[in-house]
Structures are given as C-alpha cells and as structure tokens.
Chain A
C-alpha cells in the first residue's frame, strides 16, 4: 500500500529560526513528490521534485529529494509569522492518485 509519512506532526518556532520538515514515502513506481502549503484555506502548490529535479528553491524555501532514502526535506530559513501553516507532502500512487501525508503544522511565533 502506498504511504507517505511526515514528521514532525507539529512544530513551534520563533521568528528567524530555520526549520526542516521531513517526508518519507513508500510507493510503487515513484515518479514525483509534491509539497503544498495550507493556511486557513486550500492547499497551494509549492514544489514538485522528480528524479530529474531533486532540488528546488524559492526564496526562503527549499526542498531536496533523496531517492535512495525515499524521503524529502523542506527547509524554511529565517522563518516569519506568515510561514505558519500546515505543510503537506504527497506522492502519486496507484491509478495516478495523490497520496498525502498527514501534514506538519508549523507555528512561527513573533
């Protein structure tokens, strides 16, 4: 059965801290891994990582795929209160459905 596990489930930091969120997966025929950010509304797409694109960066956010370890990390540097959200990791599973992890709830305190 396809599975995505995220850790930690929740994290509280202070503004300016750097955080690392983890995602591990078990899926047949790995194709890609996606990161989403969910604030008080719909998840919004952040990154997609593939075998040909194992590292992505956008501003203070960056993500790396480790195919050997079947995992990915999402780094956020110099965190701001606006980074507070649930971060979701997902991989395409059987029948091209996305399998989501339970998410990491990040709280950034001023």
Chain B
C-alpha cells in the first residue's frame, strides 16, 4: 500500500464550486505539505503543517484553505474554484527528525472549467 495517498486522483469542476482534496499518510510523519505544480513553474508550496495544531501559509495560499484533522490527514480546500487553479496538486510528508526529505503522494489533477 502507498504511504501517501490522495483523493480524488482526477477532478473536473466548474468555476465557483467548492472543492476538497484529501491526503492521508501511513508514514507516521508529523509534517505535511500541499504543493501545486504548473508547467514551467515547478512546485510551489500552498500550505504546510508541522503538527495538528500548526498550520502555515506557503508562497501561494490565496484562494486556498487547509485542515489538519489528525496527524495522518491533511485536506486542501478551494472555497470557490477559479480556472487558474487548474493544476496538478501534490501532498507531501516529512519526518520531524529528517525534514529535508519529503515523500510525495501520487497527485490530484484538478481542472476548473
């Protein structure tokens, strides 16, 4: 079984809809991250969480919110989706003692029409 899972894997939605992307991990890591990837722009950090009570904005948090429901679960929400949020979204985890190495989920391809 995969250590970091994301659901859904693909989603097509319409402008203005609320969307939630979910991430679960079985690695026992404290730290979790949400990135988006766009062609030519690389991976950009949206939000990160160092534990259940610690949530931090990344470089592109506008238009997004997150919830850390448990150590193993970190959800990303788009309250009102817009077309320029069409992207590939990755969740990642890292261990407190080895934060440099992050382990990525399989990604969610989101299309906003």
Contacts and interface: CB of A to CB of B under 8 A. Distances in A.
Contacts of B4: 42
B64 interface: no
A41 B106 contact: yes
A25 interface: no
B15 to A, nearest CB: 27
Given A41-B106, A100-B43, A95 B56 contact: yes
A19 B80 CA distance: 44
A91 to B, nearest CB: 9
Interface residues of A, number: 20
B40 A102 contact: yes
Interface in B16-69: 33, 40-45, 48, 50, 56, 58
A98 interface: yes
Interface residues of B, number: 22
Nearest to B58: A97
A34 interface: yes
A103 B33 CA distance: 19
A46 B48 CA distance: 22
A42 B105 contact: yes
* Dominant secondary structure at the B interface: strand
B42 A102 contact: yes
Contacts of B48: 97
A95 B15 CA distance: 33
A48 B98 CA distance: 11
B90 interface: yes
Contact of A45 (B40, B44, B50, B103): B103
Residue of B43, B56, B99 ringed by the most chain A CB atoms within 10 A: B43
A34 B101 CA distance: 7
Nearest to B90: A42
Contacts of B105: 42
A32 B40 contact: no
A2 to B, nearest CB: 10
Residue of B41, B44, B104 ringed by the most chain A CB atoms within 10 A: B104
Interface of A: 31-32, 34, 41-45, 48, 88, 90, 92, 95-98, 100-103
